Each structure stands twice: as C-alpha cells, then as structure tokens.
Structure 1
Amino acid sequence: MHHESSSERLVPTSRRVALITGAARRIGAAIARRLHADGYDLALHYRSSAQDMQRLATELEAKRPGSTLTLQADLAEFDRLPELVAKTVGRFGRLDALVNNASTFHPTPVGETTPRQWDELFASNARAPFFLAQAAAPHLRATRGAIVNLVDLYAERPLPRHSVYCMAKAALAMMTQSLAIELAPEVRVNAIAPGAILWPEPASTQAGDGDAQRQQAIIARTPLARTGSAEEIADAVAWLLDGASYTTGQVIRVDGGRGLV
C-alpha cells in the first residue's frame, strides 16, 4: 500500500519543495515543521506511522492549504525510491531539497548477525539515500537545490554491538562527500551527525542507551551538559539548505561537543 494526500496541483508551485524521508515523527517531524515554516511545500514520506503522519499533515495543511503530499513507502523496495521523487515533482512541479532522515537502528552482535539484518540496515541508511539522490539529482540541478543526510557520530566511532549500523552510516557519510563532488556545482550535499537528541524508544534497545544510568553517562561526556532538541537538528538542516551557500561535502556535528570527548 502506498497512497498520497492532497489534490493534484495543475501549475508548478513558486514555493520551494522539499522531500523528507521518515517525516512522521521525532526528528523528521521537527524538520518538516521547520521547513514548512520557512515556506517550503513538503513531500512527507513515512513507512508505518500513518496516524502520526496524518496528524502532522493536518497541522501543516491548517497553516497553508495544499502545501503537503504524504507518501507511504518501504524504502527497502527499490521501485518506491524513484517513485517518491516522481510523485513529488508530479504534484509540485519542482524539487529543491532532499532530506534523507529515515533510518533503521538495531543491534547486530558479531556471531548473531543475519544477512537479513544487514540488508535492512543498509537499505534505509545507505541504499535508499543513494538511489533517492540519484533520482532527485536532475530536478535538484534545475533548481540549484541541496541534499542533507542524517548520519551519526557512530559513522566515525564504533558503537558496541552495532557494527552493521555503524558501517551503513559510514557509507552514508562517504556518499555525502562523493555526491558533493559528483553533483557540483549545481547541487550541494551535506550531512548532520546528531548527538544525544532523543533517546531511542524501548523497542530499539540502543545498547543500553535507553536506561537512565547510561543516559547520564552520555550527558556527562557532553561538554554542553544536556541533550539536544529535535528543533536544534531542524535548525541545522534549514541552515544547510538555505544559508550554507559555500558549504558542500561536510558532516556537521550537532552533538553538544560530545564528539570531542
């Protein structure tokens, strides 16, 4: 099942258009709210969080009718990737920004990891962002647009019991650098490495990050001595899209200084 909301628009919008993956909740939803407030029309991808997405789209539509398109897809299904871009451009007539936010996260202890786990982690964290970028590139060139990828501190520094996730995020970080060269000069490509922003929900069992003791230990190693907010990540995305006109191929750490410690 994949479906879309909002009526067809017959003429291209004069507003900028962003496609955000994993936009229904948490950091993705914060990015959506921020870009919408900045005047973007939005194509909002989600996989399974249909109720959260409906609430977000309703909230944004109340502020500016006709400004959102919701697109359900499993990013592991290859055909959905060019389709997401095609539906976005079909609906709005242009594409100015791609935000690769969707991510799968779960432990893969060595000795227990399966090919299926490998495929799932690489599909969302590396394969889908690349093929979305490839499909989006001609449209982004036309608008001199930009791509922002959400990577991780653990792309550079291994997280125990999460080898495959770390490897997939490292691939996304290299993709950021490689595509910055491949798509220059028309399209800028950058990434954000969030620090401790939102603790994972219990189902994701992030190597014990979910328990209070480990959370306190992480904050103790963070020079700014607090967790960040999803809105602070969204601010960085907005800057990379609209303010960072001479910045490409960079991974910006938004981590309260944690990567220094």
Structure 2
Amino acid sequence: MPLQQLIESSQTTDVQQTSFSHDVLGRYICNTWDEAVDNGGAPFDAVVLGAGMFGAYCAEKIYRRSVGTNKRVLVLEAGSFLVSEHVQNLARIGLNVASPVASDPGIARERVWGLPWLSNQAFPGLAYCVGGRSLYWGGWSPRLTAADHALWPSNIAAYLTTNYARVEEEIGVTPSTDFITGALYTALLARLNSVRASVPNLDSVEEAPIAVQGQPPASGLFSFDKYSSAPILVDAIREASGLPDSARRLFLVPRA
C-alpha cells in the first residue's frame, strides 16, 4: 500500500521521523551542506567526490593518517544514506543489485541504482548511496597475475605487489576462506588438486579470495562478514563528531 510522501516544513527537529523509522543513522552520520561549510572552521584540505567503495575508503584513510596535521575532509555523495553495512550482512532486507540495462529509464532501479554514463553495453550502473556498490559486491578479490602486471606500468605493478597483503588482511581476504569449513570443502579441495595437472589451462587451485571476515585478526578493524567501505567511514565520522563542528575534521554531505 502506498504511503503519503513526507513534505518539508519550517519546523525543525534534531532527528527526523518517518511513518516507520527514527532516522538516527542518517542524522548521526550525515550533515547538511550548511552544517559542513558554515561552521566557522578552517577551509577543507581535501574534498572527496563520492562515498562509494573507493571514495569512502580514501576519505577514511585521509582522516586517520592526518591526525597530527589536523587536515579537514569533506565527502560529497550524490546519493543518500541507505544502510550502514553490506546488504548480505543484514537479515534478508530485500535490497538487490539492479539488472543490466542498455538505456537509462530515468528513474532509480532497486531504490538507488542509476546509470552515470551512456554505454554501448548493458550494465547495472552505480548504486547512488553512501557505500555505493561496496554494499552489494560479491567480495571476489583475486590478485592480478604476473601476466596481468606485465601490461601495467612497472611502478604501478610494483606498488600493487607490495601492498596486496596489507589490503587483503584489512578487507578480510586473509585468512582465506576462514568462513568455509567442513568435510565437503576439504574433499573438493583435495579432488581439485589431484586433477589440476590434467585440466587444460588450469594453472593452480587456490582457496577463494573472498572479502569476508570470519575471525578477527585484531580488534576494531571492521564489522564481521562481507566487507564494505561504509562501516569504516561511519566509524571515522562518529569519532570526528565528538568535536565542535568548527574543529571537526570529517563531514559527509549526501544528495550533494
């Protein structure tokens, strides 16, 4: 049954309410444009465009690594706040990846999915929300092979090779398949290894490089289960919010 659309009024409130929800997540994580820029604070040192997989990750890293220099970071997101975790970490919430389309229907699909550019191939588009596609991705995180690296500039290939292990631990790829156990898994792995040499074009059999955290390498890294960049950005924002806005170093403005 359709609900009545909420209409803005001149009345103000600390936290907005809908027919069903008290919007503490949106209010405690996001700010308006005026709150971010008209608080008497110093100019922003970095402006991050987009709070998706990479924007949220980069914003959190700039904030964490500039503690001594007090750099201020502003994150501008075209979409709204949706959820704070990967959708597969939530109890059958009903949010899905949009199906690929060849032309833009002009309306959001699956609540937040839209096409950022025209393409000659059908594709799902982008998730316009805080966390972006990191809220939906499958977590598949294999390293590029030596043959792949040969096609890249040598300095970039060297950088990737040097930093794979650190990023894999951070997003839960290592320890690998710590969430998969049992007799069936052990039997399949042994069987695949036994026939590898006889299968054409099969170079190796490896445990699945999935960004899922099943056991903690250390406390306070990020929430368990499927990785998303949203929780690390949320945690940084909540830490930053402990100071007055004029001294605060991290803001997220949605629907910008």
TM-score by length of 1: 0.23
Structure number with higher relative contact order (C-alpha < 8 Å, ≥ 6 residues apart): 2
Higher strand fraction (1 or 2)? 1
Which has more radius of gyration?
Answer: 2
Higher helix fraction (1 or 2)? 1
